[in-house]
Amino acid sequence: MTQKNVAEALNVFYELKAALENAYWETNDINQKDRFFSMKSMLQDELDELHKLSLQDHSYPYEAINPSVPRLKIRLQSLLENLDSIVYRPESFQSLAELIPKTTDLFDA
């Protein structure tokens, strides 16, 4: 896998954030709402740090900045393993199934 730059990471993170927001609003289970909200908040913390970079820095290789990223990675992997029993709407399921591996790959780089 080639290492992604900051701009590519931002695109993946924005897409994942939207997918997590959709999943949040689609579930009726308060525990799942809490799960999605928590992951979205951790992702937003990383986005906030990335927004502090100058536009010229967007071509540099992506490296996680926020210390909550390892926890987010674990939660995303757990969600992916149980996705079919948590997310029922096909569009949201497909979106998360595609974006979670892309995101965790970024965190591994």
Average pLDDT over every residue of 82-108 = 94
What is the per-residue pLDDT across 45-55, written as a single tens digit (0 to 9) for each?
999 999 888 87
What is the count of structural domains for the chain? 1
What is the per-residue pLDDT across 9-65, written as a single tens digit (0 to 9) for each?
999 999 999 999 999 999 999 999 999 999 999 999 999 999 888 877 888 888 889
Is the model more confident about 5 or about 32?
Answer: 32
What pLDDT is recorded for position 108?
81
Enter the pTM of the model.
0.91
The rounded mean pLDDT for the chain is: 92
The CA distance from 94 to 96, in Å, is 6
Name the residue range of residue 91's domain: 6-108
Q: Is residue 1 part of a domain?
A: no
Q: Is residue 60 part of a domain?
A: yes
